[in-house]
Structure 1
């Protein structure tokens, strides 16, 4: 009888952990989509709600923004994303951390300049804070072509 109870409890824990991981994957995917939309809109409250104060945001050219600089550039339209398309996204949950990789294709109008195109591969690191996911780090590398 004890063996059956232990087996049943173990089975239920496995199901619970699997369901939690799936829920976290969905929540990270939703947070990444909210970030994409906030980067296009440049809305300060939306941007700030998705990031941690310790954010380190690496650009493909080598410059690294902190949280304040990241938000300021988007709000001021110094970095102005007209469109952002995300493809080939992969989300991996490791404890309270999520690793997200995707291909990023965007049209830009930075500081009022003529539209440009940017094609990047992105690594995002999200941290679970209480019940929400916040962006902790981002690194971009130039990509040859749209995938």
Structure 2
């Protein structure tokens, strides 16, 4: 009986350890949430703050934007996210770099045209000057 309880306790502790996020992973998850809110709000200063100076922002169409184009597109309403829902998110941190993958479903209103998108996203965050900023993003349309 003691062996069974010990084994169950060991399995539980192992499961908790495997699913627990590190401090860095929690910080990156918070940065993803900050990015999501900035994209919905469309606030220029928030978008500029979360994006790295050398941002490479890839769209599912193949179009790639730098930081200025990314910020302008969203702040101007040309690309308008009304809602964003993220799911199946994974975060892998290696030093000052983090790779985030998730599925994004969103309601959009691009230049007044209502629509929806369903994309798989890969984000690369880099810790710069003590904070995590978006360095790269690539979207892929789901089948």
Q: Which residue of 2 aligns with 1:85?
A: 85
For the residues of structure 2 that align with 1:130 and 1:24, how far apart are their CA atoms?
A: 14
Q: Which residue of 1 aligns with 2:29?
A: 29
| 1:58-77, Cα deviation, whole Å (9 max, x unpaired) | 00000000000000000000
| 1:18-63, Cα deviation, whole Å (9 max, x unpaired) | xxx8111000000000100100010011111101110000000000
For the residues of structure 2 that align with 1:22 and 1:51, how far apart are their CA atoms?
A: 23
How do 1:63-82 and structure 2 match up within 5 A? Answer: 63-82=63-82
C-alpha displacement of 1:130: 2.5
For the residues of structure 2 that align with 1:95 and 1:41, how far apart are their CA atoms?
A: 30
Q: Which residue of 2 aligns with 1:16?
A: none
Question: Could you state the TM-score of these two structures normalised by the residue count of structure 2?
Answer: 0.84
Segments of 5+ residues of structure 1 without an aligned counterpart are 1-20
How do 1:34-45 and structure 2 match up within 5 A? Answer: 34-45=34-45
For the residues of structure 2 that align with 1:77 and 1:130, how far apart are their CA atoms?
A: 30
For the residues of structure 2 that align with 1:106 and 1:26, how far apart are their CA atoms?
A: 23
Question: Could you state the TM-score of these two structures normalised by the residue count of structure 1?
Answer: 0.82
Q: Which residue of 2 aligns with 1:124?
A: 123
C-alpha displacement of 1:131: 1.6
